[in-house]
Amino acid sequence: MRVHAHWEPIADATFNMHNDSPQLAEMFDLSPCNPIKEYEVADFKVFLPPSTVAVGDVWALDPNSIVPFLYQFHPGATADLGNGAEGAYACLRACSSDYAEITFRIHAEFTLGSNAHQEPQQENAEEEGERESEAKFIPSQYVGQVLVNLKKGTIRAFSLALPARNSNVDINACGGADMVFVPRMELLATDETDRDAIVWETVITAEKARRSLELKFYPFAKIDWLPIERAVERAKATHRPIHAILVWGCLDDESC
């Protein structure tokens, strides 16, 4: 399957630190290192469940086995986060006698700069000068889908994308940090299959699948969080105290 990579430049930022110096501007002037890449069917086995599952079931994926797909963006991709919730999970969202659709979510980041191409054993963490030439590009999350033709054993469609909402990437460099907006960062492949024509025998909504994956990363997502105005109203009505959290960005992804 031929997969196309799309990676648009930073469109908005809080502090614009990526333009603070020519070195940072060059480091964050990013585009896919492989705009088009061919994958074999076997490469997509990393998204399949280890055993029989039913629609709505969620299973853990090996994030390090998904990272090779992210190398199409940049060779500095890694699933080992410096901070945050690591991992990858998938959910069987829909199934018929001919097709199955898997939805997945993975957290990953990218090391940019002169050391991004080196193997871990080659790096010397004591070299301050080398560390200053590196930066971190930390997407909020990647979500994607795999459409499998069960009868033919082929992949009919694939996507892996950064959610297109504002403040969807953290960048860290030179001891500073910023939250930025990248309009599009996506791997995409599809064929002539008309997905709207598929008659699913069992299916859950995309929102329900998304919610199931979110809870695997963040159990606190079960809490019924409220905007402060509604929280004050409920506190008055129930005579209970307020537990308030102030965040710079989203609470349920890795962009803050």
Q: What is the DSSP track for 186-248? A: EEEEE-S--GGG---SEE--HHHHHHHHHHHH-GGGGS----HHHHHHHHHHHT--------S
Contact 140, 168 (CB under 8 A): yes
Q: Which domain holds residue 22?
A: 2-222
Full-model pTM:
0.87
Note whether residue 125 is domain-resident.
Answer: yes
Note whether residue 252 is domain-resident.
Answer: no
Supply the DSSP string of 74-117, one letter for each residue. Answer: -TTEES--SSS---EEEEEEEE-SSEEEEEEEE--EEEEETTTT
**Rounded distance between C-alpha atoms, residue 229 and residue 78, angstroms:** 40
Note whether residue 199 is domain-resident.
Answer: yes
For residue 74, the tally of other CB atoms under 10 A from its CB is 20
| pLDDT computed for residue 256 by the predictor | 65
pLDDT tens string, the chain, 256 residues long: the values are: 999 999 999 999 999 999 989 989 999 999 999 999 999 999 999 999 999 999 999 999 999 999 999 999 999 999 999 888 999 999 999 999 999 999 999 999 999 985 554 444 444 544 444 445 789 999 999 999 999 999 999 999 999 999 988 889 999 998 899 999 999 999 999 887 777 789 999 999 999 999 999 999 999 888 888 888 999 999 999 999 998 888 776 778 887 6
Q: What's the number of domains the chain is made of? A: 1
Note whether residue 229 is domain-resident.
Answer: no
| pLDDT computed for residue 74 by the predictor | 97
| pLDDT computed for residue 80 by the predictor | 95
At 12, phi and psi to the nearest 5? -155, 155
**Rounded distance between C-alpha atoms, residue 146 and residue 59, angstroms:** 15
Q: Give Cβ neighbours of residue 82 (< 8 Å, ≥ 6 apart).
A: 109, 136
| pLDDT computed for residue 132 by the predictor | 58
Note whether residue 243 is domain-resident.
Answer: no
Note whether residue 71 is domain-resident.
Answer: yes
| pLDDT computed for residue 102 by the predictor | 98
DSSP code of residue 181: E
**Rounded distance between C-alpha atoms, residue 50 and residue 46, angstroms:** 9
| pLDDT computed for residue 119 by the predictor | 44
The burial class, CB within 10 Å (0-12 / 13-18 / 19+), for 194 is: exposed
Give which of 97, 95, 122 is closest to 111, Cα–Cα.
122
| pLDDT computed for residue 123 by the predictor | 46
Note whether residue 152 is domain-resident.
Answer: yes
Note whether residue 240 is domain-resident.
Answer: no
